[in-house]
């Protein structure tokens, strides 16, 4: 996609988690001088230094931009961050990591998946559909494998790249183009970063802005206008499908409907779609059964990092004892509490810095709560209260950063606690 002559001479990569590290390695492998910076002084930069990257930890000095032709921004770096703002003032181009990844791909078509909830499940389901059809496919993006990582691999030039896209990743795209793109849903999330639901939605809809008349935009039934000129295809949970999905819950049938529409747009036959729908059993940390003890089932839904995701989880089970809470994201909990009451949730065991706000919301709906404080206490308390037929469900409705590195660590800790019971 990008000719060597189009590459910058010097690039600054800001933020050195998985995406930033992959971007820096992809650029330095192409002969670009790369400066990589992160405010965290404790990060291990040995791999980057070994590849020839200049690593600056604990630094956000605007002098880092001296002589820089491009700033590549990791998803975790806000668009208002001081170095990003300084780059714009100096007219230094700012790209997201997925913009760079798109430009470094050798022309592979992208199937983009965005939305508030269901992205990972739908992305992985689409990967399974392509494989069932015998079609080459790569799965990347917010799902855990950075798009720029593909630039260091031998990718089949005919492979579709199914790419999970967060609002953070879409903030600074410019030429990024997905011939098929899905918007699953939009509900309030990441308002601590975007400020308003309008700005959050605007970031999501950027997945469509470079689509032309030969492309396909997959949208929830009745969704309003979106950027771009693509053919519009709508989906809903009650769509007829080639097969009923193995995944539980109406929300997963909705994900399956979106994946079916996208797969058809990419030329996948219904026979392969049906095979994948019947065999795909989900992804870790999303309604993942992790154990059963004395007739009580334990389910890990740690990936439910917003209230809407937790609401959807509650509709998949009866007799739920809910473990919820974590770090704040600026989202309200009233609707979650109302759903908990309507679904007859037996108790909510609350953890983390948002426990107080959750307790108020649940109390207003008459849902009993326990102030557990931490995950280990919540698991013990819920397990002690549970009776045969109950489901102890970790579906936090919050981010994890107050007590855990990420939602994966939180889910793995839950699994370990259940195994220890």
One-letter-per-residue 3-state SS of the chain: CCCHHHCCCEEEEECCCHHHHHHHHHHHCCCCEEEEEECCCCCCCHHHHHCCCEEEECCCCHHHHCCCCEEEECCCCCCCCHHHHHHHHCCCCEEEHHHHHHHHCCCCCEEEEECCCCHHHHHHHHHHHHHHCCCCEEEEECCCCCHHHHHHCCCCCCCEEEEECCHHHHCCCCCCCCCEEEECCCCCCCHHHHCCHHHHHHHHHHHHCCCCCCCEEEEECCCCCCCCCCEEEEECCCCCCCCCCCCCCHHHHHHHHHHHHHHHHCCCCHHHHHHHHHHCCCCCCCCEEEEEECCEEEEECCCCCCHHHHHHHHCCCCCEEEEECCECCCCCCHHHHHHHHHCCCCEEEEECCCHHHHHHHHHHCCCCEEEEECHHHHHHHHHHHCCCCCEEEECCCCECCCCCCCHHHHHHHHHHHHHHC
Mean pLDDT computed over 286-304: 95
What does pLDDT average to over the chain? Answer: 94
> Looking at the predicted structure, is the pLDDT value of residue 191 above 60?
no
> Looking at the predicted structure, is the pLDDT value of residue 189 above 90?
no
Q: Output the pLDDT for position 76.
A: 87
At residue 4 the predicted structure's pLDDT band, cuts being 50, 70 and 90, is: very low
Q: Choose which CATH entry (3.30.70.20, 3.40.50.200, 3.40.50.300, 3.40.50.720) describes domain 8-92.
A: 3.40.50.720
Any idea which of 130-139, 283-292, 333-342, 377-386 has the lowest mean pLDDT? Answer: 283-292
At residue 188 the predicted structure's pLDDT band, cuts being 50, 70 and 90, is: low
Residue 335 CA: distances (Å) to CA of 113, 331, 343, 352 = 26, 10, 12, 20
CATH, domain range 288-420:
3.90.190.20
Kindly report, residue by residue over 324-354, the tens digit of the pLDDT. 999 988 889 999 999 999 999 999 999 999 9
At residue 194 the predicted structure's pLDDT band, cuts being 50, 70 and 90, is: low
Any idea which of 1-5, 54-58, 246-250, 378-382 has the lowest mean pLDDT? Answer: 1-5
Q: Output the pLDDT for position 193.
A: 59
CB 230 within 8 A of CB 253: no
Residue 399 CA: distances (Å) to CA of 88, 122, 188, 191, 300 = 30, 21, 14, 12, 15
Q: Choose which CATH entry (3.40.1190.10, 1.10.8.60, 3.90.170.10, 3.90.1150.10) describes domain 100-279.
A: 3.40.1190.10
Mean pLDDT computed over 291-317: 94
Mean pLDDT computed over 20-29: 97
Q: For Cα atoms 141, 116, 373, give the angle at the middle one, nearest 5 degrees.
A: 100
Any idea which of 96-110, 192-206, 208-222 has the lowest mean pLDDT? Answer: 192-206
Taking the domains of the chain in order of start, what are their residue ranges? 8-92, 100-279, 288-420
> Looking at the predicted structure, is the pLDDT value of residue 66 above 60?
yes
> Looking at the predicted structure, is the pLDDT value of residue 5 above 50?
no
> Looking at the predicted structure, is the pLDDT value of residue 185 above 90?
yes
Give catalytic residue positions: 119, 142, 190
Any idea which of 1-5, 34-38, 40-44, 359-363 has the lowest mean pLDDT? Answer: 1-5
* 162/190: higher pLDDT: 162
Long-range contacts of 253-260 (CB under 8 A, 24+ apart): 254/118, 254/184, 254/185, 255/118, 255/121, 255/122, 255/125, 255/184, 256/125, 258/118, 258/122, 258/182, 258/184, 258/218, 259/122, 259/125, 259/126, 259/129, 259/182, 260/235
Q: Output the pLDDT for position 195.
A: 63
Mean pLDDT computed over 299-309: 94
Kindly report, residue by residue over 275-289, the tens digit of the pLDDT. 999 999 988 898 999
Kindly report, residue by residue over 393-408, the tens digit of the pLDDT. 999 999 999 999 999 9
């Amino acid at each position: 996609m990008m000719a060597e002559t189009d590459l910058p001479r010097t690039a600054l990569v800001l933020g050195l988690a998985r995406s930033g590290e992959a971007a820096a390695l992809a650029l330095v492998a192409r002969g670009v001088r790369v400066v990589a910076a992160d405010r965290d002084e404790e990060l291990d930069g040995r791999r980057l230094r070994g590849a020839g990257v200049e690593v600056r930890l604990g630094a956000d000095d605007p002098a880092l931009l001296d002589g820089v032709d491009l700033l590549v921004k990791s998803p975790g770096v806000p668009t208002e961050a001081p170095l990003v703002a300084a780059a714009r003032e100096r007219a230094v181009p700012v790209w997201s990591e997925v913009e760079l990844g798109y430009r470094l791909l050798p022309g592979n078509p992208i199937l983009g998946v965005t939305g508030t909830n269901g992205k990972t499940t739908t992305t992985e389901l689409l990967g399974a559909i392509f494989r069932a059809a015998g079609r080459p496919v790569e799965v990347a993006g917010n799902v855990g494998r950075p798009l720029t990582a593909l630039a260091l691999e031998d990718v089949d030039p005919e492979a579709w790249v199914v790419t999970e896209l967060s609002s953070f990743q879409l903030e600074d795209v410019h030429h990024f183009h997905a011939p098929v793109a899905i918007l699953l849903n939009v509900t309030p999330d990441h308002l601590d970063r975007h400020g308003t639901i309008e700005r959050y939605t605007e970031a999501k809809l950027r997945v469509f802005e470079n689509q032309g008349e030969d492309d396909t935009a997959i949208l929830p039934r009745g969704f309003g206008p979106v950027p771009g000129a693509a053919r519009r295809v709508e989906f809903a949970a009650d769509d007829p499908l080639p097969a009923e999905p193995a995944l539980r819950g109406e929300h997963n049938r909705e994900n399956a409907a979106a994946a079916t529409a996208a797969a058809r747009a990419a030329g996948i036959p219904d026979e392969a779609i049906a095979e994948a729908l019947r065999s795909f059993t989900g992804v870790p940390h999303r309604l993942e059964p992790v154990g059963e003890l004395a007739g009580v089932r334990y389910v890990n839904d740690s990936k439910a990092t917003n209230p809407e995701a937790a609401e959807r989880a509650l509709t998949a089970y009866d007799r739920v004892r809910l473990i919820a809470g974590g770090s704040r994201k600026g989202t309200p909990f009233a609707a979650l509490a109302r759903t908990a009451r309507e679904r007859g949730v037996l108790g909510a065991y609350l953890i983390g810095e948002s426990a107080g706000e959750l307790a108020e919301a649940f109390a207003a709906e008459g849902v009993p709560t326990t102030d557990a404080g931490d995950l280990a206490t919540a698991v013990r308390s819920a397990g002690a209260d549970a009776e045969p037929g109950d489901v102890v469900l970790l579906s936090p409705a919050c981010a994890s950063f107050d007590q855990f590195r990420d939602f994966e660590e939180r889910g793995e800790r839950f699994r370990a606690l259940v195994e220890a019971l």
